[in-house]
Amino acid sequence: MSEFDRSSSVVAEGVQWWLEKEAGNSTFNQNKPLDELQQLRLTLVNKADPKVNGHIGRMEKWLDYYPSIENFTPSEQDKLDSRIAFGALMFLSGQYRRQRYIQADNQEDYYHRKLDWIHPGGIEIKSYLPTLLHSCTPEGVVSVGQNAIKATRSSFEVIYANAPNDFGKEESESIDSIVGEQKAWLELLGNALTNSSIRRNQEPQFVPILEPTTITHANQTTLHEVLQAR
Q: pLDDT, tens digit, for every residue of 136-192?
A: 899 999 999 999 999 999 999 999 999 999 999 999 999 999 999 999 999 999 999
Provide the sign of the torsion angle of the four alpha carbons 61, 62, 66, 69, taken in this order.
Answer: positive
**pLDDT of 60:** 96
Share of the chain above pLDDT 90, in %: 52
H or E segment at 220? Answer: strand 220-221
Cis check for the bond before 74: say yes or no (omega within 30 of 0): no
**Averaged pLDDT score across all residues of the chain:** 87
Q: HSE (CB half, 13 Å, CA atoms) of 15?
A: 36
**pLDDT of 1:** 47
Quickly state the pLDDT bin for 32 (edges 50, 70, 90): low
* pTM, two decimal places: 0.91
